Structure 1
C-alpha cells in the first residue's frame, strides 16, 4: 500500500476552457500570481497544467507585468499573500 497519495497536476488548460488569451491578462495581478511561486519564479507547465503555447504566453505576460512594475519580481504580491493567510 502506498502511504502517500501523489498530488495530481491539473490536466485541463484553464485558458482554453474559458477561451481567454493569457497575454491579455497581464494587468490582472490576481490571476498572474497564481502561476508564480513565493520566490517570484514562474511555475513550469507541468505544475500549471497549461498547453505549451499558453504557457509561453503566460510567462510573457508575467514578464510584461514585472517590467511595467505591476508585479514584484522577487516575491509574490503582498496583497495576494495577505489574502492567502486569511484563508
Structure 2
C-alpha cells in the first residue's frame, strides 16, 4: 500500500505507523467501572470498507496524517494533515 504524505509525497506504508480511527474515542470518566475501562482500552471497531485512519509518518517527516482508505481493497482515496482535518 502506498500513502501520499502531504509533505514528502507518495511513500510505502512501512514508513508510517498506524494509530487507529481518526475519530476521537470517548474516554471514560476516571471513576468509571472496570468494564468501561476494559472496553475503552481493548475493544475497537473493525469495519470493512471506507475508513478515516490516523497515521504517523515515523520514517519520514513526522507528520500526523488522516488517511481515507478502503480496508477491503487497500485503496487510498485521499490524505490530509491531521491538523487541517480538525479545522
TM-score by length of 1: 0.26
Of Structure 1 and Structure 2, the greater strand share is in 2
Larger Rg: 2
TM-score by length of 2: 0.26
Of Structure 1 and Structure 2, the greater helix share is in 1
